[in-house]
Structure 1
Amino acid sequence: MSQDDFQALYERLREGAWGGARGALDAITPERIRAAAAEVRSGRTVSLAAPVETEPGPDNPQPAGHRLTSPPEDQAASHGLHFATDHFGMNVHGDADSHLDALCHVVYDGTLYGGVPAATVTPAGATVLSVEIASEGIVGRGVLLDIPRLRGVPWLEPGDHVTYDDLVAAESAQQVRVGEGDLLFVRVGHRRRRIETGPWEAAATRAGLHPTAMNFLAERRVAVLGSDSNNDTAPSSTDGVAFPVHVLGIHALGIHLLDYLQFEDLVPVCEEEDRWSFLCVVAPLRLPAATGSPVNPIAIL
């Protein structure tokens, strides 16, 4: 995709954006949340997050750090009351751990979503558009579109794209339709490939959405986009723009992105229940001024 074609797509999507101060989350109205609650039938719950990793790997050179801070060995063996405590820290926007991207995460041509100046992101944190926008949680109707299932393969190979036509065909094959205010989850099989073949340098090569697939999200007025990959393909399909889906999704449309989720637990449940929509609850940490958060989305069927 040429830079000119990308810029034309970016301008068109931005002009048609439907969100306000909270971005596309404005499409999740109380009425839609109540309707999403009706998706609960069996009461089964499934995590869409991968376990946090503390060991380095080719796709995780800066793994999360976790250490026990107490009790010391001699204290643990002694009588009386003691507490086990620990310390945790992580690089939120890595290529292994599940996380949410806030609207302040993407700077493009000197601005954030809605034309907010990039200078509002300071060394002390983001003064606007931070993850605090989602502090009350994101609750709505989730829809999983399984592209490897559609194509009859275990996963999409790194570098492959999910197209607009793939999303429409997956809807038809799964007998589900993505609607306004939905949380759209797109499976490319990244996690299954990682489990079966081992981790690789995902920053350099991975499957994801083609930029033109964002037309689908704009037409349906999707509130959130999540994937078991980074959402963006690598290498990028767009000249001069390394993360076109992030630019189009976050910066142009105001859509919060969820990167590196896992759907290997959800797929068999959807198959058993013969449905691909569910109530979904996303609860990012309350991290004032942060550009993102680790997250554990829960699907409730």
Structure 2
Amino acid sequence: MSARPTVSREEFDALFEAVRTWGRWDRADRGAWNRVTGDHVRRAVGLVRSGVVVPMALPWNTRSGPDNRKPALHHMTDLGDVEGPEPTTHKDFIAADYHGKGVTHLDALSHIAYAGLLYDGRPARENVDAAGARFGSVAALGPLVTRGVLLDLPAVLGVPWLEPGHAVRAGDVRAAEEALGVTIGEGDAVLLRSGHVRRRAELGAWDPATASAGFHVDAVPLLAERGVALLGGDGDSDVRPSPVAGVHSPVHALAVAAMGVPLLDNLDLEALAGATAEAGRYEFLLVVAPLNVPGGTGSPVNPVAVL
């Protein structure tokens, strides 16, 4: 297991101040996504060579388990047995409490507050209520299109997966860049593969809220320095147990509340790992289209990589 040094609350708060970008952009509700211009999108589209399309969403999970405490819903509402003219129809209903471990989703800037404040220093109680978010909603982000970079740590280390609790530190990010021949740049979406999905398939489910591979907080200043616009992984980006006393999801706090960086949680990166290894390159066009939910703190998504 990679070393996971503990971080005091005082040290964490100093780190939060060091990486925060409050007041930087006029469109504060878009946060770091302001970095992605038309030029970024055009360059990302230029990465498409083979036209291979790789979806990254987990299957809609309606079964309860240690990593799915609030299963998604799916049931039929019409089986074609309603009298009427042709054609008959079949209809269904889906719903999800998606901010968990069982549904692939995007975290908008209204999802995370630290010390009572959302991104840009907006008081959470004044901006999020039972009707939804008035600041930082997923509707403010819209479709996300940029260059994606896969950090495939198991491939770099020659292991099938990282064990739960394995902390990915700043040095590991730099080593992965060198080994994979890719450099994280401004406006990029960085996706961390820990091998979570493969481990679950081979060994069974566990509770990732208590034990998961992910970024240590000391990797965040490097990502901030590079100017990332989106962060995600096959976990939820945080290593657990948390290295920060009293903060369960410190990378969430730093990325969303300090840096204004939306998060992609619970991706399936196994097919992308295979496709990037076959192509011999770990950069690609990334497309994420969240649902247009005014006031929503996020959305279920099916991100797509195009190589």
1:159-218 CA-partner distances (Å, limit 9, x unpaired): 111111111100000111111001111111111111111111111111111011111211
Give yes or no for contact 2:79–2:90 (8 Å, CA) kept in 1: yes
Q: What CA distance in whole angstroms lies between the structure 2 residues aligned with 1:114 and 1:17?
A: 6
Q: Structure 2 matches for 1:212-251, cutoff 5 A?
A: 212-251=218-257
Q: Residue type matched to 2:103 in 1?
A: D
Offset of residue 80 of structure 1: 3.5
Q: Residue type matched to 1:48 in 2?
A: M
Are 1:49 and 2:57 matched, yes or no?
Answer: yes
Are 1:134 and 2:141 matched, yes or no?
Answer: yes
For 1:3, the equivalent position in structure 2 comes to 9
Give yes or no for contact 2:212–2:239 (8 Å, CA) kept in 1: yes
Q: Residue type matched to 1:124 in 2?
A: A
Q: Residue type matched to 1:36 in 2?
A: A
For 1:39, the equivalent position in structure 2 comes to 47
Percent identical among aligned pairs is 46
Number of aligned residue pairs: give it: 298
Q: What CA distance in whole angstroms lies between the structure 1 residues aligned with 2:162 and 2:197?
A: 11
Offset of residue 81 of structure 1: 2.1
Q: What CA distance in whole angstroms lies between the structure 2 residues aligned with 1:243 and 1:18?
A: 24
For 2:162, the equivalent position in structure 1 comes to 156
Q: Structure 2 matches for 1:81-96, cutoff 5 A?
A: 81-96=87-102
Of 257, 264, 269, which residue of structure 2 is paired with 1:258?
Answer: 264
Unaligned runs of 5+ in 1: none
For 1:23, the equivalent position in structure 2 comes to 31
Offset of residue 17 of structure 1: 8.2
Q: TM-score, normalised by structure 2?
A: 0.94
For 1:184, the equivalent position in structure 2 comes to 190
Give yes or no for contact 1:17–1:218 (8 Å, CA) kept in 2: no
1:206-253 CA-partner distances (Å, limit 9, x unpaired): 111101111121111000001000111121110111110000000000
User: SS of the counterpart of 2:276?
Assistant: helix
Q: Structure 2 matches for 1:103-114, cutoff 5 A?
A: 103-114=109-120
For 1:270, the equivalent position in structure 2 comes to 276
Offset of residue 18 of structure 1: 5.3
Q: What CA distance in whole angstroms lies between the structure 2 residues aligned with 1:80 and 1:220?
A: 57
Deviates more, 1:287-296 or 1:9-18: 9-18
Q: Structure 2 matches for 1:275-286, cutoff 5 A?
A: 275-286=281-292
Offset of residue 51 of structure 1: 1.1
Unaligned runs of 5+ in 2: 1-6
1:68-100 CA-partner distances (Å, limit 9, x unpaired): 00026x559x98321111111001101121100
Deviates more, 1:199-208 or 1:169-178: 199-208
Q: Residue type matched to 2:74 in 1?
A: H
Q: What CA distance in whole angstroms lies between the structure 2 residues aligned with 1:17 and 1:96?
A: 34
Pair 210,89 (structure 1): closer, same or farther in 2 beyond 3 Å: same
Q: What CA distance in whole angstroms lies between the structure 1 residues aligned with 2:96 and 2:180?
A: 36
For 1:63, the equivalent position in structure 2 comes to 71
Q: TM-score, normalised by structure 1?
A: 0.96
Deviates more, 1:54-63 or 1:9-18: 9-18
List 4+ stretches of structure 1 deviating above 4 A: 15-20
Q: What CA distance in whole angstroms lies between the structure 1 residues aligned with 2:61 and 2:51?
A: 29
Q: What CA distance in whole angstroms lies between the structure 1 residues aligned with 2:296 and 2:112?
A: 12
Q: What CA distance in whole angstroms lies between the structure 1 residues aligned with 2:48 and 2:22?
A: 32
Q: What CA distance in whole angstroms lies between the structure 2 residues aligned with 1:16 and 1:40?
A: 34
Give yes or no for contact 1:18–1:24 (8 Å, CA) kept in 2: no
Are 1:121 and 2:128 matched, yes or no?
Answer: yes
For 2:305, the equivalent position in structure 1 comes to 299
